[in-house]
Every structure is written in C-alpha cells, then in structure tokens.
Amino acid sequence: MSYRTITAEADKTIGTNANWDGIEAEAVARMRLQNRFRTGLDIARYTARIMREDMAAYDADPSNYTQSLGCWHGFIGQQKMISIKKHFGSTKGRYLYLSGWMVAALRSEFGPLPDQSMHEKTSVPALIEELYTFLRQADARELGMLFRSLDTARKNGDEMEVKRIEAAIDNHETHVVPIIADIDAGFGNAEATYLLAKKMIEAGACALQIENQVSDEKQCGHQDGKVTVPHEDFLAKIRACRYAFMELGIEDGIIVARTDSLGAGLTKQIAFSREPGDLGDQYNAFLDCDEVAIADLKSSDVVIARDGKLMKPKRLPSNLFQFRKGSGEDRVVLDCITSLQNGADLLWIETEKPHVQQIAGMVDRIREAVPNAKLVYNNSPSFNWTLNFRQQVFDAWTAEGIDVSAYDRDRLMSVDYDGTALGIEADKRIQSFQKDAAERAGIFHHLITLPTYHTAALSTDNLAKEYFGAQGMLGYVQGVQRKEIREGIACVKHQNMAGSDMGDDHKEYFAREAALKAGGEHNTMNQFAAA
C-alpha cells in the first residue's frame, strides 16, 4: 500500500472523529510505515517466505547462495544490515546468524561460559527479539530521514523531488531479514525443544538450527568429546520444531538439521531396534564391538547380536559407547538422509576443516537419496583458514609434480610466505571458497558463527593501544572518528542512530508547536552534517 493511500485512509478515519483534535493523517501514516512489523510472528512469516524463495533460486542456480554473519547484540546486527544496504543497495541473500556459542560466551547471566548449553535457554529468544528490535529501528530511522527530505522538498516547491522521495518511501526495503537461530541440542527432551522453539519463533525466528548431540553432554562442534543420539531421538526433536512452527501458523518455517557425527566418536545410548536394517539397527552397526562368549560376560556388560554373533560394544568409564574409527563420514551421510526424509529442510555438516572436495564427497552420497539436498555451512573462525588453504595448495602441487622445495609445510603460516606464489594461490582459493562450495558441494548458505566477537576484540585492542599510548586522543580521532566521517558510517551521528530525530518527530506530532526538540542549532551532531 502506497504512502498516499495510507495517508488517505488515516485521514478518512480521523474525519469521522470530530474530537480527535490535532491528529494528523500523514503523521499516522508515517508511524505505521515505521512500524511495519507488529509482532515476532509477522517477522517469522515474512522472513520464512524470503528464505523459501532464496532456496528455490539456489536450486535453479547455485550462484544464488546466501550468506550471514553471527551477531551477539542488536546493535551489531543493525549496523551490519545498514552497511549491507549502503554498500550493495539491497539486503537480498544476506541474513543474520544467532550463535549459541556467542550467547553462552557473551549473553549469559552466569557470565562467560563455554559452548555447552549451560546458559539460560530464554536468553536465545531474548536475543532474537533484541536483534529484530534494532532492525526495525533501522527501518524507522531510514524512513524518518526520507520523511524529513520529503518535507524539505515540499517546502522548496520541488515537485519532481517530492515524487522521487514518495517513490523511495513506497519501495523502501526493510532491514528485517531471516535469522538462522541456534537452538543447540534442544535444551532437554523433545518437549523442552518444542517449548523453546515456540519462544524463538514468537520472537521472530523463521529458521531453527538443531544438532544431534546429547543435550546434557553438548559440546562446541569444534571441540572434542561430542556425544550423538540415536536417529529416532533426533527425529523426535525435528518433529517438535515442526509442530511449533505449525502451531504458530508459520507453515513454511525452516529446520536446519546439524550433524556432528564426523567428529563425534561417542554415543550415550544403544539404539532400540525392532527389526534388522531399521534405523536403530543401522545406528548400532557403527558401534565398536568385540565378539564375546556368554561365559566371558560380567554382570554389568551390555551385548548386542550382530550377524549371528554375540558382540560387546566398547564402553568407557563415563558409561559412553564408542563408534568404530573411520565411520564418521558414513554416519554423517545416514544422519543427513534421515533428517531430510523426516522433516528437515537444510543440513549442516560440522567439519574439521574447510575443504570443498571433502564436503562435496558427502553431499554427492546424500543426493543419491535426496537430489535437492543442500547445506548451511559454518565458515568457522575455529579454522585456521590461512594454514588450511596453504596446506591444501602445498598438497595439491605436490600431487601435480610442482616443485614445492621452497616451502616448509610445517611452517606455512609464516609471514615469509605471504607474498609467495603458494600464499597468493591459497588466498585466491579462500576468496572463492563460498562460490566454489556453493557450486560443487551444495552449500546454499554460508555463515560465520563468531565474526563480530573477533572484530569487537580486534578493534577494541587497536583503540586501547593508541588511546592509552603515545597517540592519546589522536588514537580515537584518527583511528575511529575520521574514518567514520570519511567512510560514511551511519553511527558517526550517534544521537540520530539512537533515535533522537525520531523522538523529535514524535514530540512534534504530540505537542505540535510546544514541542521541545533536541535537534536544534546547538546540537553538536550538526558538526557532522557533511559526513
């Protein structure tokens, strides 16, 4: 609905209420446009549709892959989307990622925690709501600036500019984009998963990422000690998430099924099996077992039948059972096929390195059963990207017979190799990794889990070094403010970013000529008028 139409409708309503003195139709229209999304469910419904359209576009052409960065605060997410609109003109194909790791490390009331699902489960939907609050505020701010420009154009009698701005208002692209939100292993049983999923969806999440680890043994995907659950247990949680979406009217909500089986060598349970070849039997077939005789059994031993033999699964003092070494990839493939066949929409395979061919090998096998299988992939900061890709190039060149005698594979991270042919080739492969993996390995969505954790640390370190050192105030001015001004960073006008101008607009709506506004000639923000 156009700006003029909304204004006309508001004017009609106001006209039927003679005692609504001072209520202006255009102010009502502006406030409505600045508050396009009324609830988190409005957001989830809108963003789910976007994500489904993007998935279809990727199926038609893998160059249409999507991307996101993990954000641990609403302001970080807001600034990211403002920057994307500034540099690329559109938010299309760019999402937000909500990392359970960063919630644990930065948002828990217990203080910084490891990524082991020990943080309060309600902190996840709270962050989703916070992110969308800041994104909606970015919409309101941007539209408010357009409204002010419209008022100026009208005051100047510039009809062409008025029409241009009205068209910009009618075609305004929201900063609200899909969030892929980490629900970890569900924070309990399937009922707990369902309850938390509802809270996350009500906060605005259209996509929930859930993993096949044991909830009370959950580990970061890039750490050791991961313990997986039998397929039926995981499928129950996938169904719980789907029921949550359906109950809340988000029929096209997205479920991302993550498998940690590639790096997980342990299970807490032996799966229940009704008949040979069922899912439970397939899961148990991966257990590392020794053949035993009845006479050799102890009172606490657990045994299973395999190929007509009595087998004892290897059990650790922790009461966990081991999988056979080298079975990780086969378990991943079965996990992924099973998840997609039982309600999941996208896959996440947690790997130990970013290697296109390794990922592609597993995806090829999955696609034999589910041809349109596609992945969300973690371009993780836990990978040493420089070292990994230099090693990949070193190994590839060695296999091709190219002379690598000038390089020491054990010290390829050295700055000495930055300008070398090998270093340059590795950087080219890093640069094209997302494109290559989208085309060859079925990766629909590339995310980085913890980028803003690292950027905050790096930028703060640089500022502290300069400001508290010999540079003094110049450390801030030269390293931050001058760059903000020259690079057009929106928050250089931090009062505006925090809502000062919107507050002034509301004061004028409510109090008219009696409004005491903050944006007068003495506001120091005016020093950045040319920024």
- Pairing relationship of beta strands 94-98 and 227-228 according to DSSP bridges: unpaired
- Residue 389, classified by CB atoms within 10 Å of its CB into exposed (0-12), middle (13-18) or buried (19+), is buried
Write down the residue that tokens 């369902």 correspond to.
Answer: 194
Quick one: tokens of 254? Answer: 């997205």
Cα–Cα distance for residue pair 216/237, rounded to 1 Å: 15
CA atoms within 13 Å, Cβ hemisphere of 149: 16
Q: Which residues contact 107 (CB under 8 A, 6 or more apart)?
A: 72, 119, 123, 126, 127
- Which alpha helices (DSSP H) does 375-450 contain, by range? 385-400, 421-431, 433-440
511-524 in b/e form (b: 16+ CB < 10 A) is eeeeeeeebeeebe
**Residue pair 176/135 in contact by the 8 Å Cβ criterion:** yes
Phi, psi of 475 (to 5 degrees): -60, -40
220 catalytic? Reply is: yes
Quick one: tokens of 316? Answer: 């650790």
Cα–Cα distance for residue pair 210/256, rounded to 1 Å: 6
- Pairing relationship of beta strands 346-349 and 254-259 according to DSSP bridges: parallel
Cα–Cα distance for residue pair 193/40, rounded to 1 Å: 19
**Residue pair 275/226 in contact by the 8 Å Cβ criterion:** no
**Residue pair 333/311 in contact by the 8 Å Cβ criterion:** no
Of 84, 57, 63, 85, nearest to 434 by C-alpha is 63
Cα–Cα distance for residue pair 149/501, rounded to 1 Å: 13
Question: Could you give the 3-state DSSP secondary structure of residue 167?
Answer: helix
- Residue 12, classified by CB atoms within 10 Å of its CB into exposed (0-12), middle (13-18) or buried (19+), is exposed
Strand-pairing partners, residue 321, are 267, 315
Among candidate residues 71, 206, 220, 336, the one labeled active-site is: 220
**Residue pair 384/426 in contact by the 8 Å Cβ criterion:** no
Helix axes 123-155, 159-170, angle to 10 degrees: 160
Known catalytic residues are 220
